[in-house]
Amino acid sequence: MQKIFSRPKSLRDAVTHYCAGCGHGTAHRLVAEVVDELGIREKVIGIAPVGCAVVAYDYWNFDCSEAAHGRALAVATAIKRVRPQNIVFTYQGDGDLAAIGTNETIHAANRGENLTVVFINNAVYGMTGGQMAPTTLIGQKTVTTPRGRRPDLEGYPLKISEMLAQLPGVKYIERVSLHAPKEVLKAKQAIKQAFKNQIEGVGFSLVEVLSPCPTYWGMSPQASLDWLSRVMVKEFPLGRIK
Partner 1 sequence: MSKKVLMSGNEAIAQGAIDAGCRFYAGYPITPQNELPAYMAAHMPEAGGVFIQSESEISAINMVFGGSAAGVRAMTSSSSPGISLKQEGISYIAGAQLPAVIVNIMRGGPGLGNILPSQSDYFQATRGGGHGDYRSIVLAPSSVQEAYDLMSPSFEMADKYRMPVIILGDGMLGQMMEPVSIHRKKQVRVPKEWELSGCKGRRPRIAKSFYLKDGDLEKANIALQKKYRLIEHKEQRYEGLFLEGAKIIVVAYGTMARIARSAVRRLRAEGKKAGLLRPITLWPFPKDIIQRLTDQNKQPVILVVEMSCGQMAEDVCLAAGGRTKVDFLGRSGGGIPTEEDIIKRVSRLCR
Of 22 and 75, which CB lies nearer to partner 1 in the complex structure? 75
Decide if 158 contacts 98 (C-beta within 8 A): yes
Of 167 and 223, which CB lies nearer to partner 1 in the complex structure? 167
Q: Does 66 bind partner 1 (CB under 8 A)?
A: yes
Q: Which residue from 19, 55, 165, 219 is in contact with partner 1, where contact means CB under 8 A? A: 55
Q: Which residue from 76, 97, 158, 194 is in contact with partner 1, where contact means CB under 8 A? A: 76
Q: Which residues contact 122 (CB under 8 A, 6 or more apart)?
A: 23, 93, 94, 133, 210, 211, 212, 213
For residues 78 to 107, the per-residue mask of contacts with partner 1, x marking binding by CB under 8 A and - elsewhere, is: xx-xxx--xx---------------xx-xx
Q: Does 7 bind partner 1 (CB under 8 A)?
A: no
Do strands 131-132 and 124-125 pair parallel, antiparallel, or not at all (unpaired)? antiparallel
Shortest Å, Cβ 236 to partner 1: 26
Q: Does 44 bind partner 1 (CB under 8 A)?
A: yes
Decide if 56 contacts 11 (C-beta within 8 A): no
The rounded distance, in Å, linking the Cα atoms of 4 and 8 is 12
Query: Helix, strand, or coil here: 177?
Result: strand
Of 74 and 176, which CB lies nearer to partner 1 in the complex structure? 74
Looking at the chain, list the stretches that DSSP marks H as alpha helix, in order from N- to C-terminal side: 24-37, 72-82, 94-95, 102-110, 151-154, 160-164, 181-199, 214-217, 221-227, 233-235
Q: Which residue from 65, 128, 144, 193 is in contact with partner 1, where contact means CB under 8 A? A: 65
Residues that bind partner 1 (CB under 8 A): 41-45, 54-55, 57, 60-68, 71, 74-79, 81-83, 86-87, 103-104, 106-107
